[in-house]
Amino acid sequence: MRTRPLKVALLGCGVVGSEVARIMTTHADDLAARIGAPVELAGVAVRRPSKVREGIDPALVTTDATALVKRGDIDVVVEVIGGIEPARTLITTAFEHGASVVSANKALLAQDGAALHAAAGQHGKDLYYEAAVAGAIPLIRPLRESLAGDKVNRVLGIVNGTTNFILDKMDSTGAGYQEALDEATALGYAEADPTADVEGFDAAAKAAILAGIAFHTRVRLDDVYREGMTEVTAADFRSATEMGCTIKLLAICERARDGASVTARVHPAMIPLSHPLASVRGAYNAVFVESDAAGQLMFYGPGAGGSPTASAVLGDLVAVCRNRLNGTTGPGESAYADLTVSSMGEVVTRYHISLDVADKPGVLAQVATVFAEHGVSIDTVRQQGKDGEASLVVVTHRASDASLTGTVEALRKLDTVRGVASIMRVEGE
């Protein structure tokens, strides 16, 4: 074994960074044996230097992250500060000064992954980011390496623990969205400002990363259709139960049936209780992958938290250090397929639509005609009437999102349709 240690600079020492430092210390011998050389924490960049950080030598702590990545003797920079800047500049500066990078930064990777990969390639360095998607769950490397010989057709996942906790609570207790969110906040699952989670931004960034790797095609954050889950109601869960389904916030990356294009989207959807994703409870994440040769695979585990995320970071650190010792790099960006990323209008799926309508002769025929005129085939209709008004639940066969949108617009114009109570996609069948 080489005795000269590989030097690691840690950018950020919060929930994840402090766990990375702790595991690097407590597992030092194992890590050295697995890598073939010891790893040494050579510097820790933080915002608040006065904070006491157990197990970290205060002499290593600095507020000057730029100077740390420019030192020239750093082998690997571990970036766990998150956000776009200064993380982006620090990562590119690290490459310029000879370091490889391990990052947990989904927002940055989703927005600027191509440029960061290009910078890594230009300098002959590694960029690994297993921790950016679904915490501890191995996904990036299985898609990038283990499935490199297969053809992935679909990635369907629960990649946000906060929203899964809320939806699971609504499902199991009948609570409304706000009540379930309040509980998630009280228990520390939801942040004080939960927007990134509940509006689907966090999941959309992860979908962009997964789709890009799965389909060997650049998928930008802007390519991902996004709907949050704040409008999901207790009534939606009752409808889902009647259908033998539950509701999950899903990230769905799909190859079109003709193979020529792909789509990526995040939205709440009904899935049958028989689907493996339906049984993912609490704040857990799971990703279901469908490929030509392997068939169906499911990856399951904790998608957030200091220790689980640090596990993914450490796995990358070991891989990058091994590459470094061998004078090589791992796989870089693979975007050769360059498939068209289609818009949401071209997505084809089933829909569950709840309408409030007048309960009088001809209304059902009127509504059915609108669906027919837009080429949307109805699978089932269920009506419950009371005092001249009725609630009509229509479940469609597979139709394009554009056709469904046209249908709903036309339905809203009917005098007999008092309102469209909810529209929910039905997935996983």
Q: Which residues make up the interface to ligand HSE (CB under 6 A)?
A: 160-162, 197, 202, 303-304
Which residue's CB is nearer to ligand HSE, number 19 or number 202?
A: 202
Q: Find out whether 345 is annotated in a ligand binding site.
A: no
Q: Find out whether 386 is annotated in a ligand binding site.
A: no
**Active-site residue 151, yes or no?**
no
Residue 132 CB, shortest distance to ligand HSE, in Å, is: 8
Q: Find out whether 16 is annotated in a ligand binding site.
A: yes
Which residue's CB is nearer to ligand HSE, number 81 or number 411?
A: 81
Q: Find out whether 18 is annotated in a ligand binding site.
A: yes
Burial 404-419 (b: 16+ CB within 10 A, else e): bebbbebbeebebbee
Which residue's CB is nearer to ligand HSE, number 161 or number 406?
A: 161
Residue 299 CB, shortest distance to ligand HSE, in Å, is: 15
Concatenate the DSSP letters of all residues of 159-176 into one string: --HHHHHHHHHHHHH---
Burial 101-119 (b: 16+ CB within 10 A, else e): bbbbbbbbbbbbbeebbbb
Q: Find out whether 11 is annotated in a ligand binding site.
A: yes
Start-end of H helices in 60-173: 65-69, 87-96, 106-122, 140-141, 161-173
Which residue's CB is nearer to ligand HSE, number 247 or number 394?
A: 247
Residue 174 CB, shortest distance to ligand HSE, in Å, is: 23
Q: Find out whether 13 is annotated in a ligand binding site.
A: yes
- 276 in Cβ contact with 427 (< 8 Å): no
Which residue's CB is nearer to ligand HSE, number 224 or number 357?
A: 224
- 320 in Cβ contact with 102 (< 8 Å): yes
What does the alpha-carbon distance between residue 200 and residue 213 come to, in Å, rounded to a whole number?
20
What does the alpha-carbon distance between residue 206 and residue 110 come to, in Å, rounded to a whole number?
7
Residue 231 CB, shortest distance to ligand HSE, in Å, is: 19
The pair of three-digit structure tokens given for residue 293, joined into one six-digit string = 């040769």
The count of residues in the chain is 429
Of the candidates 169, 206, 360, 413, the residue annotated as catalytic is 206
Q: Find out whether 121 is annotated in a ligand binding site.
A: no
Which residue's CB is nearer to ligand HSE, number 75 or number 197?
A: 197
Residue 131 CB, shortest distance to ligand HSE, in Å, is: 9
Residue 356 CB, shortest distance to ligand HSE, in Å, is: 34
Can you point out the beta strands (E) in 258-404? Answer: 261-272, 284-291, 295-302, 340-341, 348-358, 378-386, 389-396, 399-400
Q: At what angle do helices 161-173 and 234-242 cross, to 10 degrees?
A: 70
Name beta bridge partners: 341.
262
Q: Residues marked as binding for L-homoserine? A: 191
Q: Residues marked as binding for NADPH? A: 106
Q: Residues marked as binding for NADP(+)? A: 11-18
Q: Which residues are catalytic?
A: 206
